[in-house]
Each structure stands twice: as structure tokens, then as C-alpha cells.
């Protein structure tokens, strides 16, 4: 499947989660991106939330290369958090409390 009309990246190194979200927020800010459990966020909404969370993470001392564990069930709030962790250059490690071993 080929998608046309979307944002382009000149260099492969520009294809980070944070950059993809930012370009989508600029290209189609009002398009719904997260719809779940009473939440409906556009690309612009998630981009703005990710920026705020990234600033908070940086203020807490999270730096590029750090690992951030997320101990949570499936929640819409995780989407901007994952983008924020990527924006500061850290690595996220999900620990899903909704999943149980067999």
C-alpha cells in the first residue's frame, strides 16, 4: 500500500517517532490520532502533550540514552508519553500490567 500526500523526510535519521508526530501535527493538525475510552486527541493535541511531558522528563534528569520503564495497563495517556520519551532521546520499556503469564 502506498500512502501519498504525507510528510516527507529528507534523511533516514529524521524518521524518529517525535519527528513523525511533529510533521503529522503540522501537516494535518486536526486529524484524530488517538480515540479510546472517552479520549479523542488530534495529532496536534498529542504533539503538544508530548512536548510538555518531554520538558518534564528533562527537568527530572532524563537524558538521551536513559531507559524509562513504564509500569501501566493499556491507557491512552501512554501515547504522548512514549512520544515524549522518544523526544528526549531516551528508550522506553513497557511493563504491561494488563498482560499475565500463562
Residues 26-43 have pLDDT tens digits of: 999 999 999 998 899 999
Cell of 25: 501535527
- SS3 state of residue 93: strand
Distance CA 41, CA 5 (A): 21
The phi, psi pair for 37, rounded to 5°, reads 40, 55
Tens digit of each residue's pLDDT (9 = 90 or more) over 81-98: 999 999 999 999 999 887
Q: In this predicted structure, what is the pLDDT of residue 2?
A: 44
pTM of the model: 0.82
> According to the model, what pLDDT value does residue 5 have?
59
pLDDT on residue 101 = 66
Provide the Cα torsion 13, 15, 17, 19; round to 10°. Answer: 90
50: pLDDT confidence band, cut at 50, 70 and 90? very high
From the list 90, 97, 91, the residue with the least C-alpha distance to 71 is 97
Amino acid at each position: 500500500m502506498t500512502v501519498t500526500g504525507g510528510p516527507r523526510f529528507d534523511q533516514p535519521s529524521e524518521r524518529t517517532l517525535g519527528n513523525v508526530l511533529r510533521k503529522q501535527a503540522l501537516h494535518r493538525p486536526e486529524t484524530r490520532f488517538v480515540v479510546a475510552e472517552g479520549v479523542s486527541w488530534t495529532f496536534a493535541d498529542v504533539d503538544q502533550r508530548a512536548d510538555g511531558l518531554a520538558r518534564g522528563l528533562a527537568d527530572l534528569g532524563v537524558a538521551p540514552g536513559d531507559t524509562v520503564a513504564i509500569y501501566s495497563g493499556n491507557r491512552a495517556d501512554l501515547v504522548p508519553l512514549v512520544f515524549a520519551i522518544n523526544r528526549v532521546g531516551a528508550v522506553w520499556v513497557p511493563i504491561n500490567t494488563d498482560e499475565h503469564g500463562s
